[in-house]
Each structure stands twice: as structure tokens, then as C-alpha cells.
Amino acid sequence: MTQSSVQSAQSTADTVHLTKLSVKSGDVGAHVDWLTRLMMVGVGSGSVLSAEIIPSSTPDENEWTLVQRFHEHRLLTEWQAGAHRLKLLQELAPKIEANEVALNETVASTYGTVGSVAVAIVTEVKPGLEAPYREFEKQFQSAQAKRRGYRGVYLQPPTKKTPNVWTTLIRFDSPDALDEWFVSDERKHLLTLAEPVVNSTEFQSVTGSFPGWFPSQKKGQKGPPNWKTALLILLGLYPIVMLEIRFLNPQLHSLNSAVANFIGNSISVALTTWVTMPLLIKAFTPWLFPKRDTPAWVGPVSLALLLAVFAIEIALLWRLL
């Protein structure tokens, strides 16, 4: 192996740095603050591709893990020797000597994530205000890390392809815990602090059964229940499948069944994704995403209308096929 190939291999391997902080006594929240500050030092250096903080799997362990993925091994090494990181380590040293905390650092090539409920947040920061936004993120990440059910955060700073855009994936152990944090006064207050430096913020839940078709968590909204999404998908998919059986399948009769079914399914998915679902979601938006001021009759009337359309589809296709 040549020297250039060795350097190339080293730049793509061992680029994940793990900082495990075990809190044995004292204020857990203060130590989480320290870990958050360490994370933002890495993010602020421009060397970190992404970062996430993962709490302990059991409440009695109190071990928190900071996972930082660097663009290349060289940048990880430079960050380890950086003055800001060393200053934070010196700050923690007395607590380590007093056996209040234990610190363990390792370098790896990969590391997985945990969590059962997640929301992706895409934030566009105003140009030139990245430093104030990082200060805000320190407060925000520290606050949500102390909330009930918190299971970790994945933070990706801006890249060359997405300047000024920060992507955050927060995880909680249940929808209730996530909603509790989202509607909390503490979170609302922190968002007001960020308003002067933020252009826009978009939310996308990744907890529903059909996240690609149904937008959710937009401006704090919940996603529609799975039974509603299933009915709407069936409403749009059923006539497509029936028409394929009548008109497409005879044309594909000479093909192997695996190939024929692949073609048919591809057409069904494409038509459902880009034709029927956008139309149906637009038509049934008040039913899918009811607001506080949505009249009570919207739910039952929309459901009755949906069932009526099902009946019309069956009747028309019965006569056609």
C-alpha cells in the first residue's frame, strides 16, 4: 500500500469521537451543560460533520455520551489538541479528582443511535450570525437534555452544500414526552431568544407510518393517526390497482411474474405518491390536521364523505370491470 493510499484510508476511518461522562454525585444538569459546551466547541471549530448527545439507557447509570463525527481523522486530532477543549477538560479535572464524575474518551469508526420517537428540525440561520446561534444552541440542548423521556439529539452544522442550515434530530422515548417538551413554556421562551438570528424553522416528524406522504409536526402540529392515513392511502391506491388489473396486466402477461409485478407496483407507487395523495391530502386537510377552532362536525362529515367515495369507487369499478 502506498503512502497516499494509507493517508486516504486514515482520513475515512476512525473519525468518530466518543466522550462518555459518568456522573457519580453532584448536579447531573450541570454536568450535562458541560457536555453540551464541549459539543458546541467541536461544532464551532468547523471540523464536525455531526454531533449527538445520548443519555444513559437506565436512570440509575447517569452516563451521558457525546458522539462527534469528524470530516476526517486529521481534523479529529486537531480538535483533541485544541485550546478550547483542553480548557473544558481542565475545568472538569477537579470533579474527576473528587470522584464526582468519570470521563472516558475513545475513537471509533462507527457508532449507532438510539430512540423511538424523533423529530427533524431544519433551521436556517441568518448569514453572519452563526456565533450567536451557537450560544443559543448551548442553552437549548442543555434544556431539552434534562426533560423527561429525552433519548438524545443528533446535530449537523451547515455544510458547503447547505450554508447557514442546521439540522437537528431530537429523540424521546414516547410521543407524550416529546409533546410535553414541544409545548413547554421553557422551549417557547428559548425560541423567542433565537428569533433575532433565525430566518426560518421547519419541523418534520419521523414517527408516523407514512412520513413521506403525510407532513407532520409542521409548526408544532401532530401527525394524523395511522388509521386516517391508511384509509386515505387505500382510497387513492384502490382504483389504481383495479385499473392496472384490467388494462395493464394483460399487456404484461408475456413477462415473468416478478418483472410484471415490479412494473405494476412501480406505477402504483408513483401515481399514489405524486397524483392521488397530494390531491386527497389537500381535500381532507381539516380532517387530517384539525385545529383548535375546527368545528366538531368536520370529523364525522369527512369520514362519511370518505366512505361515500369508497362506495362510488366500488360501484364504478364493478360496472367497468
Q: 104 and 10: one domain?
A: yes
Can you give the pLDDT at residue 219? Answer: 44
Task: Please give the order of strands across the beta sheet that includes 63-70.
Answer: 101-108, 16-23, 63-70, 48-54, 150-156, 165-172, 117-125, 198-205
218 lies in a domain?
Answer: no
Alpha-carbon distance 131 to 134, whole Å?
Answer: 5
Strand partners, 171: 118, 152
Residues in the chain: 321
Can you give the pLDDT at residue 266? Answer: 84
For 160, the domain range is 115-207
The tally of domains found in the chain comes to 3
Q: 105 and 44: one domain?
A: yes
| Residue 162: CATH number of its domain | 3.30.70.100
Can you give the pLDDT at residue 215? Answer: 58
Alpha-carbon distance 222 to 215, whole Å?
Answer: 9
Tracing cell 407496483 back to the chain, one arrives at 265
Q: 97 and 137: one domain?
A: no
220 lies in a domain?
Answer: no
DSSP state of 276: I
Contact between residue 23 and residue 62 where contact means Cβ atoms under 8 Å apart? yes
121 lies in a domain?
Answer: yes
Residue-by-residue DSSP string for 221-251 = PPPPPHHHHHHHHHHHHHHHHHHIIIIIGGG
Tracing cell 412520513 back to the chain, one arrives at 211
Indicate the pairing of strand 165-172 with strand 150-156. Answer: antiparallel
The mean pLDDT values, 10 residues at a time, for the chain of 321 residues are 38 73 82 89 85 75 85 89 93 92 84 63 90 90 88 84 85 79 90 90 61 51 72 88 85 80 83 87 86 85 92 86 69
- pTM for the full predicted model: 0.51
Kindly list the distances between the CA atom of residue 307 and the CA atoms of 59, 231, 303, in Å, as whole numbers in the listed order. 47, 9, 6
